[in-house]
């Protein structure tokens, strides 16, 4: 028997075992493909779809469904235990970075099983999501890489005359845009007069349009780039007028970081996505309210947002100093109310105005 016949036989045996009629069989792979047909326009589709297919191709080594790929299983037979078995197997594999996958990676893969199933429930393709409510694993592997202004300037130097990478890096550092948004950014999104970048919902990861920052230096770098005939893309390949490949751009950034010697406080070297992490962290340090930062960054989940807000020793010291300053002001104000003729230190004029009849 060839592979197709083996798969067909396994599915038929599965149906008989579960007592499911052929006409009612709805597999996980069917849900994924139907979800894919309506979500191809999303910029994150390629990665999400690849993750979903990767999980669908996994088959347990033992148990009642040994040798049957998860994607060929009827949705009604899926259980949280299947996810537990997948996670256990996945942590024993090796990624391109020559190590096991992180909890964040595995959580995203599991999410790409839950998402098509939730979509299938809404379309009434299936009655319920059998793994609904399954919690993510704790992601204790959050990076603590924040690029300060000095580090940013150091990373720009190895680019030399490569205006393309200078512009992309500057725009990412000053706006907090995602990599896909950067690669697909267009001049028509730019509003240099008001200092905004208008990101359409068709490109944004969560499908909702938003506005973020466009600094003068980022716009100056963009203006220095040549315009490509036939496209409004800022970072377009001059030969094909298509966006540059994300992995290639990422490698150029990694090479520049290696040459600059910049590292985070956790010892890790910055990646392209750390431009976004740095923008969020620096905005918070500079007093921008979380609600405004989340509006500009496109975060909907505050739990995810806080993973980007890195607290450093400098932040702790600043917080301590701010608290002490506020405490002393409160004490001085209290003493001024008790003794109107005694002015709090550093606020003499204010007390004089309040106590003068």
- What are the backbone angles phi and psi of residue 218, rounded to the nearest 5°? -65, -40
**Which option is the CATH number for 149-308: 3.50.50.60, 2.60.120.10, 1.10.443.10, 1.10.390.10?**
1.10.443.10
pLDDT of residue 352: 40
Q: What are residue 233's phi and psi, to 5 degrees? A: -60, 140
Yes or no: say if 70 and 158 are a contact pair by the CB < 8 Å rule: no
- Distance CA(213)–CA(276), nearest Å, equals 12
Please report the pLDDT score of residue 356 as a whole number: 41
Q: What is the DSSP letter of 157?
A: G
pLDDT for 238: 72
Count of beta carbons in the 10 Å neighbourhood of residue 205: 17
| Contact yes or no for 45/36 (Cβ under 8 A) | yes
Q: Which has the closest alpha carbon to 28: 59, 92, 81, 73?
A: 73
Question: What pLDDT does 348 receive?
Answer: 42
With 0-12 / 13-18 / 19 or more C-beta atoms within 10 angstroms meaning exposed / middle / buried, residue 3 is: exposed
Segments of the chain scoring below 50 in pLDDT: 19-23, 347-357
Residue 244's H or E segment, with its range, is none
Nearest CA to 197 out of 184, 206, 205, 185 is that of 185
* Residue 286: partners with Cβ closer than 8 Å, 6 or more residues away: none
Integer Cα distance of 269 and 155 in angstroms: 11
Q: What is the pLDDT of residue 210?
A: 92
Whole-angstrom distance, CA of residue 30 vs CA of residue 19: 19
Extents of the domains making up the chain? 3-122, 149-308, 315-355
11 and 68 Cβ atoms separated by less than 8 Å: yes
Nearest to 163 by CA among 234, 248, 260: 234
Neighbours of 54 (CB within 10 A): 13
189 and 171 in contact (C-beta within 8 Å)? no
Whole-model pTM over 0.75: no
Whole-number pLDDT of residue 74: 93
């Amino acid at each position: 028997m060839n592979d197709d016949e083996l798969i067909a036989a396994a599915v038929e045996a599965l149906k008989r075992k579960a007592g499911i009629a052929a006409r009612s069989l709805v597999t996980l792979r069917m849900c994924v493909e139907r979800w894919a047909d309506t979500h191809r326009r999303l910029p994150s589709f390629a990665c999400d779809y690849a993750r979903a297919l990767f999980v669908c191709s996994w088959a347990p080594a033992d148990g009642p469904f040994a040798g049957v790929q998860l994607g060929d299983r009827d949705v009604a037979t899926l259980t949280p235990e299947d996810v537990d078995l997948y996670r256990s197997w996945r942590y024993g594999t090796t990624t391109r970075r020559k190590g096991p996958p992180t909890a964040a990676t595995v959580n995203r893969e599991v999410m790409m099983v839950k998402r098509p199933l939730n979509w299938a429930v809404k379309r009434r393709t299936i009655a319920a999501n059998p793994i609904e409510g399954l919690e993510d694993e704790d992601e204790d592997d959050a990076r603590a890489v924040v690029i300060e202004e000095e580090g940013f300037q150091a990373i720009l130097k190895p680019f030399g005359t490569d205006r393309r990478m200078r512009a992309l890096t500057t725009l990412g550092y000053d706006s907090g845009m995602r990599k896909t948004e950067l690669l697909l950014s267009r001049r028509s999104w730019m509003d240099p007069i008001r200092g905004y970048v208008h990101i359409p919902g068709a490109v944004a990861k969560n499908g909702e349009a938003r506005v973020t920052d466009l600094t003068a230096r980022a716009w100056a770098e963009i203006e220095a780039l040549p315009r490509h005939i036939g496209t409004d893309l800022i970072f377009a390949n001059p030969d094909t007028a298509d966006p540059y490949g994300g992995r290639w751009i990422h490698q150029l950034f990694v090479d520049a970081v290696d040459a600059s010697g910049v590292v985070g406080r956790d010892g890790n070297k910055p990646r392209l996505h750390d431009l976004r992490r740095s923008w969020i962290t620096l905005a918070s340090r500079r007093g921008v309210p979380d609600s405004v930062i989340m509006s500009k960054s496109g975060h909907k989940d505050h739990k995810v947002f806080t993973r980007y807000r890195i607290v450093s020793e400098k932040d702790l010291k600043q917080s301590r100093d701010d608290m002490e300053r506020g405490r002393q002001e409160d004490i001085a104000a209290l003493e001024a109310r008790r003794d109107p003729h005694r002015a709090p230190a550093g606020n003499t004029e204010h007390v004089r105005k309040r106590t003068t009849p």
